[in-house]
Amino acid sequence: MTQPLLLALTIAFPRPGQRLPYVERCYMIGAVGPGPTNITVGGRSAAVYRTGAWATLVEVSPGTNVVDVAGSNHWFVIGPKPVRKPSSGPVKPAPERVYGKLPYADDAARAAPTNRAPGEITVVIDAGHGGRDTGALSPHGIEEKDANLRTARAVRVELERRGYRVIMTRDDDRQIALYDRPKVAHANNADAFISIHHNAPPVDRDPRTVRYSVVYAWNEIGENLGKAINRRLAETLKAEGLKNNGVPRANYAVTRNPEIPSCLVEVDFITSPEGEEASWNPERRRRVAAAIADGFEDWAKGG
């Protein structure tokens, strides 16, 4: 068995207990067990947290010359941590990317269903990820796909209690292609599409400290829905001290539905220990679901 040649350049596969050569700064990716995994770096203990398919090693000081993975029965990839280059000279704006319209969508933007009874209003709730696509992983190995489904079900309960017609893109652990999700809204002539997710930070950020709620939208009609939901969500989560990042525009496949008001809710960061614990709390989940349903209802009533 030979390792791919590329790996020899910057990356090593240490065996448990193996001592590695000098690495200036490092991070780790690969299979990390449940909970923060402690390794020894230069005689000092450092924690590795799971953040999705990646794990991030935190608290490694430059100049460390030995990384010891003693006691670990997992494999790691160790390499130089990606460093963001500081920009030099005037910042050039990124070229505008042109995203294709969904092939089945039309252009007529739908207005909020302000004059209809809840029973005549259809909302599609999309539990993000599913099946082999786990989404992000929490420090103790909770998979984002499951946290999303639990929250999506709670949102359905809240909306159905108020009389709305709710369709789920999935109600079990299955993989659904990204573009098939907004298709469900289109096929059912839905009035709105809400995708539920839990967030993870980029690999070069400390997953213990990054935490906020945020709602993404792509166009103005999605933004109106997103703002209504985010107002209620931010208010509810403020009570527990969670920050909110507003309603930025984002080109996600599930928000890019030109005529159906669509948004993507990132409830919290499942990668932070506190965010993980909160995602597991049924009472908190019910409050989040009620806030999302309240926001939806504000929007549906023209508020």
Going from the C-alpha of 180 to that of each of 113, 175, 190, 262, 303, the distances in angstroms are 24, 10, 14, 14, 30
**Shorter beta-carbon distance to Zn ion: residue 85 or 132:** 132
**Shorter beta-carbon distance to Zn ion: residue 128 or 275:** 128
Q: Which two tokens stand for residue 36?
A: 């923060």
Q: How far is the CB of 39 from Zn ion (least distance, A)?
A: 27
Q: How far is the CB of 148 from Zn ion (least distance, A)?
A: 7
Q: How far is the CB of 294 from Zn ion (least distance, A)?
A: 23
**Shorter beta-carbon distance to Zn ion: residue 269 or 299:** 269
Beta strand segments in the chain, E: 27-29, 37-41, 44-51, 54-57, 67-68, 77-79, 122-127, 165-168, 192-199, 214-216, 262-269
Angle between the N-to-C axes of helices 220-238 and 282-300, in degrees from 0 to 180, rounded to the nearest 10: 140
**Shorter beta-carbon distance to Zn ion: residue 112 or 152:** 152
Question: Which residues are registered as beta bridge partners of 123?
Answer: 166, 192
Contacts of 123 (CB under 8 A, 6+ apart): 159, 164, 165, 166, 167, 190, 191, 192, 193, 194, 296
Largest CA distance in the chain: 69
Contacts of 280 (CB under 8 A, 6+ apart): 142
Q: How far is the CB of 57 from Zn ion (least distance, A)?
A: 22
**Shorter beta-carbon distance to Zn ion: residue 268 or 297:** 268
Q: How far is the CB of 87 from Zn ion (least distance, A)?
A: 29
Q: How far is the CB of 47 from Zn ion (least distance, A)?
A: 23
Interaction site with Zn ion (CB under 5 A): 128, 135, 197
Q: How far is the CB of 221 from Zn ion (least distance, A)?
A: 23
**Shorter beta-carbon distance to Zn ion: residue 237 or 265:** 265
d(CA 78, CA 288): 38
| CA torsion through residues 159, 162, 164, 167, sign | positive
- Tokens 């230069």, residue located: 42
Nearest residue to Zn ion by CB is 197
